[in-house]
Structure 1
Amino acid sequence: MDNIESPIVLGVSLKLYLDVADTMHWAQSVSKLTRTHPAIAQGRVRLFVLPSLPALPAVKDAFRGTPVSIGAQDLFWKDRGAFTGAVSGTDLRAVGCSYVEVGHAERRTIFGDDDETVGRKLAAALRNHLTPVLCVGETEKSDSAQAALETVHELESALTDVVPSDGGHDLIVAYEPRWTIGQTQPASPEHIGRVITELRQRLASDHRIRASSVLYGGSAQPGTLSMLGRKADGLFLGRFAHDPKQFALILDEAAALNNSQLRMG
């Protein structure tokens, strides 16, 4: 999605940084902001939030009546069965989720999710009418050409189990170079732009995908969106958005970028 008239997409994963009480304080503050912010009301900025699982129903209630969508940070690839501790896409959809994150680097390194597992989870999300937020990104710092090759390969692997559907699937890809996660600064705009261009081209050629957005997410923070312009379709945010005041800055930044692009168009 690189049309300048398309909305800027912002996603926030709360990971496990906040307890339920702090999560609710954050959700109530951001909900109040989204109810009054013209960019959200007019659809020029689209927002989704991924809280921890125990807080999910309460966060959904906090955003009731707003255009903000809610999702989960993971799912299992089976819908039913003897899978202790697992959460299915069927149940996530039933409690009001619209999105689910798949393939984050922390899931890969800490919980052992490999390419096959990520592919199964992606297919399960689509089967249950959830929009996957697929995280991809090179492991080590390298030049942009090598990073693009590795990242596109990761995307293709994740799409292996996806079956065509009438009308096609919606997909969000979050480009997160793993060497930037947890750092103070994101990758350079030139590096990000090269990789995202390759990802967009690969997605555009896939007949199974109806609509896609490619976000940037490695240490994304206030200032990143202005730096990138429309090299990305938006941001996938972590800890830098966990302060409502910092998130408000990013939301204002997205609105300003959208306005400037519309004037140029």
Structure 2
Amino acid sequence: MRKPLMAGNWKMNLNHLEAIAVAQKLVYSLGDKDYDAVDIAIIPPFTDIRSIQTLIDGDRLRLLYGAQDISPEASGAFTGDISGHMLAKLGCTFVVIGHSERRAIHKEDDALINRKIKAALANELTPIFCVGEELSIRESGAHVSHVIRQIRAGLEGFTKPELKKIVIAYEPVWAIGTGKTATPEDAQEVCAAIREEIGSIGSAEIASNMRILYGGSVKSSNISEIMKQVDVDGALIGGASLDPEELAKIAKFYAVESA
């Protein structure tokens, strides 16, 4: 049984004081039954992580957190980079790698993403490895093959024990921050193909246990239908995660389903 994961990617929003306020409002809206049912995480900017760590550790909260990027290097003369060791010391659980905005704006390629995943695993961080297609690829009908190519390149050279520690997020680029949402069936098609590919490069057991998330204009009004898909195990949430009440509603999707 794969425990759902709802991860709020705050992107370049919220200073450390705002981050504390949002996190406090979020945890106020969540109870133990929510954490028992769903892993709930926030992914703040680097400058907020220490404040979030202090809040969570001080109050012994069950909220998880992580980082939006990681350096492939361990240390040294890499101005502006943040190493996996630094993130681990800040108590991070997750690190987002290969997000479409990093690929498009910072020109990150599959080889660099592969190295970043290795750096995360070397520091016992859980990579949230992002893959997805642009609208032109979707319209050409090549979206599944495109995503599978990203999976193969990003995970090349990893052992089976390493594959077990990775979370994958499918994010159709055309549905990120646009208000457009892939249909639940669209999400299921690609997530199922990802799981099948993990079975090929890893094993059926690894594929069966791997959490695969959907990302792209996720909100409380559409999460229930998305989560009904058998191969979707949660969501990587962007703009909606900046609203703590909205993120809490998304995390409580299971309560709506069981009502």
Query: TM-score, with normalisation over the residues of structure 1?
Result: 0.87
For the residues of structure 2 that align with 1:229 and 1:163, how far apart are their CA atoms? 29
Contact 1:101 1:135 in 2 (8 A): yes
Matches within 5 A, 1:1-265: 3=1, 6-34=2-30, 36-40=31-35, 43-64=36-57, 65-141=60-136, 142=138, 146-165=142-161, 169-207=164-202, 210=206, 211-231=209-229, 232-257=232-257, 259=258
For the residues of structure 2 that align with 1:256 and 1:7, how far apart are their CA atoms? 17
Q: Secondary structure at the match of 1:17?
A: coil
Q: CA deviation at 1:108?
A: 1.1
Aligned length in residues: 251
For the residues of structure 2 that align with 1:162 and 1:172, how far apart are their CA atoms? 14
Q: CA deviation at 1:145?
A: 5.5
Q: What code does the residue aligned with 2:254 have?
A: A
Q: What code does the residue aligned with 2:213 have?
A: L
Contact 2:177 2:238 in 1 (8 A): no
My pick for the range that moved more, 208-217 or 86-95, is 208-217
Q: CA deviation at 1:256?
A: 3.1
Contact 1:74 1:102 in 2 (8 A): yes
Partner of 1:263: none
For the residues of structure 1 that align with 2:77 and 2:61, how far apart are their CA atoms? 37
Q: CA deviation at 1:94?
A: 1.5
The CA deviation string for residues 49-68 of structure 1, in whole angstroms up to 9 with x for no partner, is 11111110111222231222
The CA deviation string for residues 172-199 of structure 1, in whole angstroms up to 9 with x for no partner, is 1111001111111311112111111001
Q: CA deviation at 1:99?
A: 0.8
Unaligned 5+ runs, structure 2: none
The CA deviation string for residues 32-53 of structure 1, in whole angstroms up to 9 with x for no partner, is 223x35221xx21111211111
Query: TM-score, with normalisation over the residues of structure 2?
Result: 0.89
Unaligned 5+ runs, structure 1: 261-265
Contact 1:220 1:240 in 2 (8 A): yes
My pick for the range that moved more, 56-65 or 67-76, is 56-65
Q: What code does the residue aligned with 2:56 have?
A: F
Contact 1:77 1:124 in 2 (8 A): yes
Q: CA deviation at 1:164?
A: 4.9
Q: What code does the residue aligned with 2:120 have?
A: A
For the residues of structure 1 that align with 2:111 and 2:132, how far apart are their CA atoms? 16
The CA deviation string for residues 67-100 of structure 1, in whole angstroms up to 9 with x for no partner, is 2221110001111221111111111112211110
For the residues of structure 2 that align with 1:126 and 1:230, how far apart are their CA atoms? 30
